[in-house]
Amino acid sequence: MLLIPKLDDKSPIPQYLQLVDYIKREIASGRLAEQTRLPSIRALADYLSLSPTPVELAYNQLAAEGFIASVPRKGYYVQHLPEPYLQLGIGDAEPHRPSEADGVMKRAAPARDARTYPYDFHLSSIDGAHFPYRVWRSIFQELLVPERKELLWYGDPQGEPGLREQIANYAHQFRGVRCTKEQVIVGSDPHVLLTMLAKLLREHAGHIAVENPGYLLCPATFRQQGYEVTPVSLEEDGIHIGELYDSAARIVCVSPSHQFPRGMIMPIAKRLQLLEWARRTNGFIIEDDIDGELRYYGRPIPSLQGLIPESDVIYLGGFAQVLAPAVGIHYMILPPSLLGAYQLMEYDTLFEQSAPRWNQHALQLFMERGHLERHVRRMRTLYRNKHDCLISAIRRHFGESADIAGTDAGFHMLMRFESPHSDQELVRRAREAGIRLASASFTWLRPPAESRKEFFLGFGGIPIDRIDEGIRRLSEVWLEG
Mean pLDDT comparison of 25-39, 75-89, 245-259, 441-455, highest-scoring range: 245-259
180 and 291 in a single domain? The answer is yes
Last residue of a domain, one of 369, 402, 437: 369
242 within a domain of the structure (yes/no): yes
344 and 206 in a single domain? The answer is yes
Would you state the pLDDT for residue 112? Answer: 84
Judged against a pLDDT cut of 80, whether residue 300 lies above it is answered with no
- CB crowding 199-223: b at 16 or more within 10 Å, else e: ebbeeebbebbbbbbbbebbbebbe
Spatial separation of the C-alpha atoms in residues 296 and 382, rounded to whole Å:
10
444 and 332 in a single domain? The answer is no
Would you state the pLDDT for residue 293? Answer: 84
346 and 362 in a single domain? The answer is yes
Would you state the pLDDT for residue 88? Answer: 47
Q: Give the CATH number for residue 303.
A: 3.40.640.10
141 and 362 Cβ atoms separated by less than 8 Å: no
Mean pLDDT over 379-395 rounds to: 97
Judged against a pLDDT cut of 80, whether residue 107 lies above it is answered with no
244 and 344 in a single domain? The answer is yes
Spatial separation of the C-alpha atoms in residues 153 and 171, rounded to whole Å:
28
Task: Quote the domain boundaries for residue 75.
Answer: 15-88
399 and 344 in a single domain? The answer is no
1 within a domain of the structure (yes/no): no
pLDDT tens-place string over residues 335-378: 999 999 999 999 999 999 999 999 999 999 999 999 999 999 99
Q: Give the CATH number for residue 424.
A: 3.90.1150.10
pLDDT tens-place string over residues 192-212: 999 999 999 999 999 999 999
4 within a domain of the structure (yes/no): no
Share of the chain above pLDDT 90, in %: 76
- Upstream peptide bond of 267 is cis (omega within 30 degrees of 0): no
Spatial separation of the C-alpha atoms in residues 304 and 242, rounded to whole Å:
19
Judged against a pLDDT cut of 60, whether residue 93 lies above it is answered with no
99 within a domain of the structure (yes/no): no
Would you state the pLDDT for residue 108? Answer: 80
444 within a domain of the structure (yes/no): yes
Would you state the pLDDT for residue 84? Answer: 53
289 within a domain of the structure (yes/no): yes
CA-based torsion, 264, 267, 273, 279: positive or negative? positive
137 within a domain of the structure (yes/no): no
Spatial separation of the C-alpha atoms in residues 309 and 39, rounded to whole Å:
63
pLDDT tens-place string over residues 426-475: 999 999 999 999 999 999 998 887 777 999 999 999 999 999 999 999 99
109 within a domain of the structure (yes/no): no
Closest by CA to 397, choosing from 456, 475, 457, is 475
Would you state the pLDDT for residue 375? Answer: 96
82 and 219 in a single domain? The answer is no
349 and 158 Cβ atoms separated by less than 8 Å: no
pLDDT tens-place string over residues 139-169: 999 999 999 999 999 999 999 999 999 999 9
Closest by CA to 232, choosing from 216, 258, 213, 255, is 213
341 and 443 in a single domain? The answer is no
319 and 204 in a single domain? The answer is yes
Burial of 361 (0-12, 13-18, 19+ CB in 10 A): buried
416 and 318 in a single domain? The answer is no
Would you state the pLDDT for residue 383? Answer: 96
Q: What is the pLDDT confidence band of residue 221, given thresholds at 50, 70 and 90? A: very high
Burial of 314 (0-12, 13-18, 19+ CB in 10 A): buried
Contacts of 35 by beta carbon, 8 Å cutoff, 6+ apart: 77, 78
Q: Which is more confidently placed, 310 or 2?
A: 310
Would you state the pLDDT for residue 95? Answer: 44
243 and 324 in a single domain? The answer is yes
Q: What is the pLDDT confidence band of residue 96, given thresholds at 50, 70 and 90? A: very low
Q: Give the CATH number for residue 52.
A: 1.10.10.10
Last residue of a domain, one of 308, 340, 369: 369
Q: What are phi and psi of 412, to 5 degrees?
A: -150, 170
Give the number of domains in the chain: 3
Judged against a pLDDT cut of 60, whether residue 92 lies above it is answered with no
Q: What is the pLDDT confidence band of residue 105, given thresholds at 50, 70 and 90? A: low
Last residue of a domain, one of 44, 68, 88: 88
pTM higher than 0.85: no
Residue 168 vs residues 70, 340, 347, 358: alpha-carbon distances, Å? 61, 19, 23, 19
256 and 309 in a single domain? The answer is yes
Mean pLDDT over 322-331 rounds to: 95
Closest by CA to 187, choosing from 314, 356, 315, is 356
